[in-house]
Amino acid sequence: MLTDWLDLPGAEPFFRWAGAIAGADLLTLGTTGDAEAIKDTAVTQPLVVAMSLFVARELGGLPGPVAHTPQAGRDVVITGHSVGELTAAALAGVLSVEAAIALTAVRGRAMAAACARTPTGMSAVLGGDPDEVLAAIGRHGLTPANRNGAGQIVAAGPLDGLDALKTDPPAKARVMPLPVAGAFHTEHMAPAREELEGLVGGLRPADPSRLLLSNADGAAVDSGSEALARLVSQVTSPVCFDSCLATMRELGVTAVIELPPAGALAGLAKREWKGAGIEVLAVGSPADLGHARALIEAERGRSEAEHLPDWRMVVAPARGTVSPADVAEGTHLPAGTPLGCIRGRREEVNVSAAYDGVLAEWLVHEGDLVDAGDPIARLYPEVTA
């Protein structure tokens, strides 16, 4: 995983330094470590985050010595998937690189210990009707731990329930067991969440300097304390990456770069955004850095007038009935303002403004039925000169 990257200047010292922070020999694990060693989530998590942060540094993506401002970072949207939210928090300036790696190491060890208590696992359910998939997952005593978009929902829980789901899959769906240590993002990880809750009070997070989307609901997080609280709660909460993809499309993103180890999220984005004209690049090796730098420069070269839409839609992140917030049309909405919720048969999903703007028009009424992706409100973006 790391071998090809070690030819870059400063790579080896970076991973030695990151390993010292994480309390694990990341350099050895990422080059000569065998499959048995690497599958231990206690070391996999800090290795993945360190690798992503190193490549972000190569691309100039880390906050510099001069503090970023929300205005300066308004054209950059950052999100992660599961442990990738720790990387995202560092790139948004919420945590230092050192704090992100240290917190990831604690998270990994705590989750490994929780996995050892009860044999659990995860399986991807590909295809099928979403409601039928969720019903089947619940019928077998499992939890929909990841809602990834592109027709993929990940079930998690006891191994016998996962076996039963694979034997009796939902119609037009296939079930693929995942090589993970346990049922992440479920109540089986409660001991790990409690351990993290006991130590994050020692951190002093900064407010995001770039637009940071949360796995909880795809909404923008506008305070460091809220971002840190969500990093802790996501250990036992579902990852709603489909909502993050919906928000990015709604924001009008024109290009996306996935940091390594890359490929899975880029694949989801390409399938979910098919035909949307959004360029998606997975940085899988040093050979991709030139393309990534060119893409970044091309995006920086766009003037705001060229790519900022006249208005943007707020879309439903899930199927259900709408309960709009009591917000009048014409109201200024800072990023993160609650706009209501979507109540489905199995869950309730909150909807928030993902960026600063003015509520131009409600497109739904109380009790309306919507599908995921249906527009519910129209906002005019506000531009800071």
Q: Which pairs count as long-range contacts for 293-298, CB under 8 Å and 24+ apart, including other chains? A: 293/59, 295/255, 295/257, 296/59, 296/60, 296/257, 298/255
Is 307 catalytic? The answer is no
Quick one: 252 exposed, middle or buried, by C-beta within 10 A (0-12, 13-18, 19+)? middle
Report whether 355 contacts 312 (CB < 8 A): yes
Report whether 333 contacts 307 (CB < 8 A): no
Identify the pLDDT of residue 68: 41
| pLDDT at residue 300 tops 90 | no
Q: What is the DSSP string of 304-348?
A: HHHH--S-EEEE-SSSEEEEE-S--TT-EE-TT-EEEEEE-SS-E
Report whether 109 contacts 40 (CB < 8 A): no
Identify the pLDDT of residue 345: 81
Evaluate the CA torsion angle 258, 260, 262, 265 in order and state its sign: negative
| pLDDT at residue 297 tops 70 | yes
Give CA angle at 93 (79, 80), nearest 5°.
15
pLDDT band per the 50, 70, 90 thresholds, residue 34 = confident
For the chain, strand residue ranges (E) read: 77-78, 120-127, 143-149, 152-158, 173-177, 211-212, 255-258, 279-282, 312-315, 320-324, 332-333, 338-343, 348-352, 357-362, 369-370, 375-381
**Region 293-298: what's the mean pLDDT?**
87
**Region 254-273: what's the mean pLDDT?**
94
Tokens describing residue 119:
């044999």
- Residue in this structure with the two tokens 């940071």, named with its chain if needed: 212
Give CA angle at 235 (233, 237), nearest 5°.
65
Tell me the C-alpha to C-alpha distance, in Å, between residue 250 and each of 88, 214, 301, 317, 372.
Answer: 19, 15, 21, 11, 13
Q: Return the number of other C-beta atoms located less than 10 Å from residue 9's C-beta.
A: 8
Identify the pLDDT of residue 309: 54
Question: pLDDT tens for residues 64-98?
Answer: 543 444 434 447 899 999 999 999 999 999 999 99
Determine how β-strand 211-212 pairs with β-strand 77-78: parallel
Identify the pLDDT of residue 304: 47
pLDDT band per the 50, 70, 90 thresholds, residue 36 = confident
* Nearest by Cα to 91 from 209, 205, 8: 209
Question: pLDDT tens for residues 358-369?
Answer: 888 899 999 999
* Nearest by Cα to 153 from 163, 164, 169: 169
| pLDDT at residue 329 tops 70 | yes
> Domains of the chain by range and CATH?
3-114+188-307 (3.40.366.10), 115-186 (3.30.70.250), 312-381 (2.40.50.100)
Identify the pLDDT of residue 313: 78
Report whether 251 contacts 77 (CB < 8 A): yes
Q: Which of 82, 223, 225, 323 does the annotation list as catalytic? A: 82
Tell me the C-alpha to C-alpha distance, in Å, between residue 355 and each of 219, 269, 293.
Answer: 9, 21, 26
312 vs 278, higher pLDDT: 278
Is 185 catalytic? The answer is yes
Q: Return the number of other C-beta atoms located less than 10 Å from residue 35's C-beta.
A: 7
Q: Which of 52, 81, 140, 185 does the annotation list as catalytic? A: 185
Question: pLDDT tens for residues 198-253?
Answer: 889 889 999 998 999 999 999 999 899 999 999 999 999 999 999 999 999 988 89
Q: State how far the Cα of 222 lies from the Cα of 227, in Å rounded to an integer.
A: 8
Give CA angle at 366 (360, 369), nearest 5°.
100
